[in-house]
Amino acid sequence: MKTLHQAHFDSVDRVSKAFASVDYIASREIATSVYLGFNLEKPILVEGPAGVGKTELAKGMAEILDVPLIRMQCYEGLDESKALYEWKYGKQLLYTQLLKDKLGEMMQGAVGLAASMDKLHAHDDLFFSEHFLEPRPLYQALHQERGCVLLIDEIDKSDPEFEAFLLEVLSDFQVSVPELGTIKAKVKPLVFLTSNNTREMSDALKRRCLHLHISFPEAALERRILERRVPGLSATLNRELVAFIQAVRQLDLKKLPSVSETIDWAKTLLLLHAEHLNLDVVRDTLNVFLKFEQDIATANAQMSTLLQQARKDAESPRASHA
């Protein structure tokens, strides 16, 4: 049976080409981090603003390796039981009733209290077994026969106590279950942790991971992303759109437009049959990539300057040949 570790990446360029094959345009820094993480079998902590492709990175890697993507979404209050396993209490209650109904049959042949207790204890062991266990993401990841890509999404939203619990998983790829003992991974998963930097991660967690920061892409890379993700977009509109977004990111905004919102805006302009950016079409669609009214007001106040700068940047020889 082929596992994820039988895949072979002998260079950073090979990783870049693999990502391109699944329509993920990876920068050199991203490809290098994934190359090292895969070959060193180390988790990768991916930080950066929302919408720059952190989650898509894990999805793309699962597609490349042809293994399941198991995603654990973190949130405040997430604990071990929600991440690892829970007992199926309803099923256990039904089993208890079944034992009660069959108790006479079970005790047949048992002579004395000790023999009866021995028979009963045999069924107690079954009561706390995998038959009554509801697997959660971490447990599922450790049991994948071919391995998987494990995405621990927005780890910064979890509590420090949960982060401490993860250390055993990330160090030894095993967890301790009191009723079942130590569970080791059948195949070591490739782990991505993402963070939007809402809180600082502990030194202990960072020591166990490679670090990758994904920032907003430079114009040339963002144009390549649009070429892949919005293939019907003309080269001219691509240059103008990216130049405008890049200019908007220089403003003092509550939330800067992400790459995913750039893609949404490109698709919107295609639906509106826009061939160039103009004042009306931009003002009508600002809400696609700006999510706060004060940010829309700020952009509107600078609209003429932004459009002028976008056209100038789009027409430069560097933009035309990038």
pLDDT digit string, tens, across residues 15-58: 999 999 999 999 999 999 999 999 999 999 999 998 899 999 99
Residue 124 in this model has a pLDDT that exceeds 60: no
Q: pTM value?
A: 0.81
Cα gap 163→271, rounded to integer Å: 44
Residues 268/230, Cβ–Cβ less than 8 Å: no
**What's the mean pLDDT when you consider all of the chain?**
86
What is the pLDDT at residue 168?
A: 78
What is the pLDDT at residue 82?
A: 82
- For 222-276, write each residue's pLDDT tens digit: 999 999 999 999 999 999 999 999 999 999 999 999 999 999 999 999 999 999 9
What is the pLDDT at residue 132?
A: 63
How far is the CA of 213 from the CAs of 45, 196, 281, in angstroms? 8, 10, 34
Q: Residue written as tokens 């019907």?
A: 232
Q: Domain 2-81+134-211 is classified in which CATH homologous superfamily? A: P-loop containing nucleotide triphosphate hydrolases (3.40.50.300)
Sequence-distant (≥ 6) Cβ neighbours of residue 146 within 8 angstroms: 1, 2, 3, 4, 67, 187
Q: Residue written as tokens 């693999």?
A: 18
Cα gap 198→144, rounded to integer Å: 31
Residue 102 in this model has a pLDDT that exceeds 70: no
Residue 237: other Cβ atoms inside 10 A:
20
- For 63-93, write each residue's pLDDT tens digit: 999 999 999 999 998 887 788 866 655 555 5
Residue 320 in this model has a pLDDT that exceeds 60: no
Residues 194/152, Cβ–Cβ less than 8 Å: yes
Residue 216's pLDDT band (cuts 50, 70, 90): very high
Residue 293 in this model has a pLDDT that exceeds 70: yes
What is the pLDDT at residue 166?
A: 87
Residues 147/68, Cβ–Cβ less than 8 Å: no
Extract the tokens encoding 109.
């042949």
Residues 299/248, Cβ–Cβ less than 8 Å: yes
Residues 84/182, Cβ–Cβ less than 8 Å: no
What is the pLDDT at residue 84?
A: 81
Sequence-distant (≥ 6) Cβ neighbours of residue 160 within 8 angstroms: 202
Domain ranges of the chain: 2-81+134-211, 85-131, 217-313
What is the pLDDT at residue 112?
A: 58
Residues 24/56, Cβ–Cβ less than 8 Å: yes
Extract the tokens encoding 285.
């669609």
Residue 135's pLDDT band (cuts 50, 70, 90): confident
